[in-house]
Amino acid sequence: MDYSVAIQTIKQSDPVLAKVIKIVGDCKLSQVQQTGDLLFSLSRSILYQQISGKAAATIHSRFLQLYPHSPLPTALEILNTPDEILRQAGVSGSKVLYLKDLAQKVMEGLPTLEELQTMDDECIIETLTPIKGIGRWTVQMLLMFRLHRQDVLPVDDLGIRAGIRRVYGLAELPKKKTVEDLGQMWKPYRSIASWYLWRSLEVETS
């Protein structure tokens, strides 16, 4: 994916972030895009919540190994898996509930990824957040990393807030309103700006 227009737009509207872009280099957001259907994407998001990436990857792998005969587990297979089996794979009690609720809602007719592509971001958030364990942030990650939406700004994301604090030299983590106000400069490419803010935590920016 070519991000040159997005990068040029952000550089022109925000000289501070322009310096970060120069240090970080090319945007590699497209290289971390995810695959799989909606059930796969959201179940992965649930399993990755609030634990380290390494631990989450191990649990996610064990979860997938419970369904060796399917390329991806189906909603029916998840519903038919005893809670105890999921717990033995390392899935917490609350996440077992979330996975079962997700599977149930898929069975009842959640939109497919293709159907979601025809909807705007806020409509997708409203459609998916009624699922237990799926909050606004989780849907925003789906928008950015699975549906390739270019204008998403996860204002509650700790990495985004920490990046802003570092890049703009703030005394403390910015409040939601500050993040939203700064984000006006990056429209309509706030996903790309977010990617650079995450990367800013990994490089020397001073």
Residues known to be catalytic: 157
The C-alpha atoms of residue 91 and residue 163 are separated, in whole angstroms, by: 31
3-state secondary structure 136-191: HHHHHHHHHHCCCCCCCCCCCCHHHHHHHHHHCCCCCCCCHHHHHHHHHHHCCCHH
Short-list 34, 5, 40, CA closest to 148: 34
Alpha-carbon torsion angle 192, 198, 201, 206, nearest 10? 20
Alpha-carbon torsion angle 52, 169, 145, 124, nearest 10? 110
Neighbours of 79 (CB within 10 A): 15
The C-alpha atoms of residue 66 and residue 61 are separated, in whole angstroms, by: 9
Bond prior to 130 in cis (omega within 30° of 0): no
